[in-house]
A = this chain, B = another copy of it.
Amino acid sequence: MTPRVSLFRASTRVTEVTTRLADFFDEKQRLAATLGGQYADLWAAARHASEGGKKFRPALVVNTYEALGGDNQAAAVAVATAFELLHTAFLLHDDVIDGDTTRRGQPNLLGTFSAEASARGVSARSAATWGEASAILAGDLLIHAAQGQVARLSVAENKRLALLDLLEECVFVTAAGELADVSFSTSVQVPVLSDVVSMTQWKTAHYSFQAPLQAGAILADASEATVRGLSEFGRNIGIAFQLRDDILGAFGAEDETGKSSTSDLREGKMTLLMCSALQRSDTDELAGILSQAEITASDADRVRQILQSSGARDFIEGLITDYAHFAIAAIDSPAIPSSLRLQLEEVAHKACDRSA
């Protein structure tokens, strides 16, 4: 779910999103302080959680909007801000669900609050509850705030309603993806390949690529063909992006990705890479390792060998190429202005060919 590469060159509009987020959190922290110091701390931590990323979802919104001739920059910045707030909210709740206390190598909100409570002598169980409660509440507040950005847009009513519908669909589909992901990692559901493709599209591609592109286009009064082409591009490049993430999660250099190359394994994440390896390997060795309570470094090395020797890694590399081609084909249309097409082709290459 985490972008670890800048998909775009620096943009003035993305800087405006950063400023808008800063203003938003300034105001909330000020108000929160009137309801107690720990509530102000919660808002400060929510702000911190929103600051780590590369802001590529906002960039997709504002760059698409500008390339399609939109001239209400304030509205574009507000919609872009909504996607960044939503992204932060999803990360906060994803960490609670996965029981993760770190993100990008640093303690996350859950981990920070739990550790602070422990340091003050609170029992381990209570400290965990405190961390989880804080992260759940912070995510709730940002889910609400994201929609607030769109609900307060000063644009024509039909456009505001279309954007509200888009955001609602986005939350709806992402929740379905998260639920499917958890059903796989908890063994509530044993997935086949097509289930994992769907999960990937729902959980990541939709809110990270499809919806931001559609939002920029809808706000710019783009034609239906343009919105459809961008959505199709987003769907395919989003899947390719996540598949690259899965490969980096298993084979990437930790000092580049900022993520332990055994964490996906330890969490039992059912990636398309793993699912295809399980279907291809002719022994139960891989399933046996994954079912262990603890994964050692040598287990992880053996898993990487199997991912390679089974042909799963090559299969996924091939899929990344295919989905990138589908994405680029979707915008090879007169409905997509060439300046936007060039930008998106660059996004596609960066999303697929990256080491971090």
A96-B136, A152-B164 in contact; A176/B35 too (CB < 8 A)? yes
1/0 per position for A137-170, CB-CB distance to B under 8 A?
A: 1011101110110111000000001001001100
Copies in the complex: 2
- For chain A, residues 21 to 75, give those with C-beta under 8 angstroms from any C-beta of chain B: 28, 31-32, 35-36, 38-39, 42
A97 at the interface (CB under 8 A from B): yes
Q: Nearest Cβ distance between residue A257 and chain B, in whole angstroms?
A: 25
> When chains A and B are docked, how far (Å) is the Cα of A50 from the Cα of B209?
33
Would you call A139 and B140 a contact (CB within 8 A)?
yes
Q: Which among A97, A99, A188 has the greatest number of chain B C-beta atoms within 10 A?
A: A188
1/0 per position for A185-212, CB-CB distance to B under 8 A?
A: 1111100000000100010000000000
A127 at the interface (CB under 8 A from B): yes
Would you call A35 and B186 a contact (CB within 8 A)?
no
25 CB < 8 A contacts A-B: A32-B172, A35-B173, A35-B202, A36-B180, A36-B198, A38-B183, A39-B179, A96-B136, A97-B132, A117-B188, A122-B188, A123-B187, A130-B186, A133-B182, A134-B182, A137-B175, A140-B171, A141-B171, A143-B143, A144-B147, A147-B147, A150-B151, A151-B151, A152-B161, A152-B164
| 5 closest residue pairs by CB, A with B | A151-B151, A126-B186, A35-B176, A133-B182, A97-B133
Instruction: Name A residues whose Cβ lies closer than 8 Å to a Cβ of B.
Output: 28, 31-32, 35-36, 38-39, 42, 89, 93, 96-97, 99, 117, 120, 122-123, 126-127, 129-130, 132-134, 136-137, 139-141, 143-145, 147-148, 150-152, 161, 164, 167-168, 171-173, 175-176, 178-180, 182-183, 185-189, 198, 202
